[in-house]
Amino acid sequence: MHLKNSILRLQPGIHILRHPKGGPAFTVSRAPGDATCTGQLEILSTEKTQGVILRDGADCIVLLVKHAPVEMLITAYLASADDIPPTIRLDTVSLDSESRLPVPDTTGAKTGAFRINELGVSLIGHVENMGDIAVSDGALLGDPSKQFRLEGFQVVWPDKPPGVDISYFVSVEGSGELPSVTVGNFCGTRGEARRITEVTFSLVGVDAAKFELAGTAHFSGGFQTPISSGLTLSGPSGFEHLTCLSLKALPSSKKTKVTNAWLDSPKTKTFKAGGKGKVTSKSPKS
């Protein structure tokens, strides 16, 4: 028996962990986390999980996180050390009264070196040779013509409506896939000269289907691909580095009424082989 571990950070809200159907068993336990991970955790689960074990598609664990984030240790039990675990499925419902995270000042005054618009999505990021910069209104964070690394970024949405959030995560050279975060949190690295090779944005929450994402991810070599909720984006070989991002959240143009609150919630990919992707865009499978 071989074990593979991953850390999943959960913001205040309701989170449903489900087995991906097929593959190994998983255990779920609270990790110590850092000084910010002091949230209160309540667990409700199907009977045979005992709140800890996911064995098959009939199992689920519901986690209520309150007051502050928590970090969970996910362990896969594999027959071989070379096996790649499938991905745990995660559905999230934000609790508006507790889940709004501190964001930069939106009054028009400077916050550090930044001015953040009061409306819509803004991006703050660390770009190689340029330092920390901020953009709004779907503008480009970074310069695709210079091929500098966009090493990390934070999504800011001051007027974010209740019932929706943006979850995002990246794969980083030497570390693989980092834990997913939501609006107001930094994702990636800063000043470590490491490449982001994949990036994923997903709309989450009970009202996620009322919105859609728009924007573009640019990678070295002049490659670019449009952003869509739940799609993992990379260059054609999987080794190109992220140079530039633009992002907007818009009212959905779809007319179909969604009756299942979980239908458009993305799956958080807890485990993934890093740096070997061949697909420019890939969508999680339920």
Q: Decide which of 130 and 240 is more confident.
A: 240
Report pLDDT digits (tens) over 190-218. 878 889 999 999 999 888 999 999 999 99
Q: Name which residue leads in pLDDT, 100 or 137.
A: 137
Domain 2-95, CATH: 2.60.120
HSE (CB half, 13 Å, CA atoms) of 120? 18
Structure tokens at 207: 């009202």
CA atoms of 135 and 145, how far apart (whole Å):
17
Domain borders along the chain are 2-95, 122-270
Check: pTM over 0.75? Answer yes or no: no
Q: Are 238 and 225 in contact (CB under 8 A)?
A: no
Which residue would you say has higher pLDDT here, 70 or 114?
70
Q: Write the pLDDT tens digit of every residue in 177-195.
A: 888 899 988 899 887 888 9
Hey, what's the torsion of the CAs at 60, 74, 205, 123, to 10 degrees?
-170
Q: 151, 128 in Cβ contact below 8 A?
A: yes
| Mean pLDDT lowest among 46-60, 115-129, 146-160 | 46-60
How far, in Å, CA of 59 to CA of 18, rounded?
6
Strand-by-strand arrangement of the 131-136 sheet: 131-136, 122-127, 150-156, 186-188
Spacing of C-alpha 28 from chain mean position: 19
- The strand pairing partners of 166, in sequence order, are 203
Report the length, in residues, of the chain.
Answer: 286
For 12-23, the pLDDT digits (tens) are: 888 888 777 667
Higher pLDDT, 123 or 131: 123
Q: Which pLDDT belongs to residue 95?
A: 52
Quote the tokens at residue 30.
């609270």
| pLDDT 10s digits, 104-129 | 443 333 334 456 777 899 998 989 88
Residue 225 pLDDT exceeds 60: yes
- pLDDT (0 to 100) of residue 13: 80
